[in-house]
A and B are shown apart, each in its own frame.
Chain A
Amino acid sequence: MKTFKGYERADGSVGIRNYVAVLPSVACANGVVAAIARAVPEAVPMYHGHGCGRGGADLEIHQRTLVNLAKNPNVAAVLVVGLGCEVLRAEGLALGISLSKKPVEYFYIQNEGGSRKAAAKGIEIARRMLADAAKQERVEFPISEIRLGLECGGSDAFSGVTANPAVGLAADWLVSEGGTVILTETTEMIGTSHILERRAKDAAIARSINERITAQEKRTHEILGPLASYVIAPGNMDGGMSSIREKSLGCIIKAGNTTINQVLNYAEVPSEKGLVVMDGPGYDTESMTGVAAAGCQAMIFTTGRGNPIGYPMVPVIKVASTSQLYEKMEDDMDVNAGRVLEGRLLREVGDEVKDLLVRVLNGEKTKAEVNQQDGILCIYTTNPAF
Chain B
Amino acid sequence: MNPNVVIIHEKDNVAIALEDIASGGSASLPGGGTLTAKGDIPYSHKIAIADLKAGDEIVKYGEIIGTAKEPIRRGEWVHTHNLEIRD
Interface residues on A, range: 20 to 34
- Chain B binder among A26-34, A109-117, A328-336, A339-347: A339-347
**CB distance A240 to B42 under 8 Å?**
yes
Which A residues between 145 and 180 are near B, CB-CB below 8 angstroms? 157-158, 160-162, 165
CA distance A196 to B83 in the complex (A): 21
| Interface check A195, CB cutoff 8 A | yes
Interface membership of A250, Cβ < 8 A = yes
Binary CB contact string for chain A from 239 to 250 against chain B (1 if under 8 A, 0 otherwise) = 110110110011
A341 touches B18 (CB 8 A): yes
List the A side residues contacting B31 at CB < 8 Å. Answer: 345
Interface residues of B in 44-68 (CB under 8 A from A): 44-46, 60-66
Residue among B8, B16, B62, B87 making CB contact with A194, cutoff 8 Å: B87
A157-B44 in contact (CB<8A): yes
- Which listed residue, A194, A239, A249, touches B61 by the CB 8 Å rule? A249
Q: Is B30 an interface residue (CB 8 A)?
A: yes
Q: Given A165-B9, A194-B87 in contact, is the A343-B3 Cβ separation under 8 Å? A: yes
Query: Residues of A contacting B3 with CB < 8 Å?
Result: 343
* Range for the number of chain B residues in contact with chain A: 20 to 34
Number of residue pairs A-B, CB distance < 8 angstroms: 67
Known contacts: A240-B42, A343-B3, A345-B31. The answer to whether A195 contacts B79 by CB under 8 A is no
For the complex, is B6 an interface residue (Cβ under 8 Å from A)?
yes
Min CB distance B11 to A, Å, is 9
Q: Is there contact, CB below 8 Å, between A237 and B44?
A: no
* A371 in the interface (beta carbon within 8 A): no
Specify the chain B residue showing the minimal Cβ separation from A252: B61
Nearest Cβ in chain A — how far from B69, in angstroms? 11
Give Cα A162 to B80, complex, Å: 23
Residues B63 and A243 in contact, CB atoms below 8 Å apart? no
Nearest-CB distance from B46 to chain A (Å)? 6
Q: Which residue of A lies closest to B11 (CB)?
A: A257
Q: Is B37 an interface residue (CB 8 A)?
A: no
Which one, A162, A242, A257, A342, contacts B62 given CB within 8 A?
A257
Contact with A along B63-87 (1 / 0, CB 8 A): 1111000000000001110010101
- Asked if A76 is at the interface (CB within 8 A of a chain B CB), the reply is no
Query: With a CB–CB cut-off of 8 A, which chain B residues contact A345?
Result: 30-31
Q: Of all chain B residues, which has the CB nearest A345?
A: B30
The answer to whether B46 touches A242, judged by C-beta atoms less than 8 angstroms apart, is yes
Binding site for B on A (CB under 8 A): 157-158, 160-162, 165, 192, 194-195, 237, 239-240, 242-243, 245-246, 249-250, 253, 257, 340-343, 345-346
Please name 4 further chain A to chain B contacts, defined as beta carbons within 8 Å, in addition to the given A161-B8, A239-B44, A243-B66, sorted by A numbering.
Answer: A195-B64, A240-B44, A249-B61, A253-B61
What are 7 residue pairs bridging A and B, where the CB atoms are less than 8 Å apart in the complex? Answer: A237-B79, A239-B44, A240-B17, A242-B83, A243-B85, A249-B60, A257-B62
Q: Which 3 A-B pairs have the closest CB atoms?
A: A343-B2, A240-B45, A240-B44
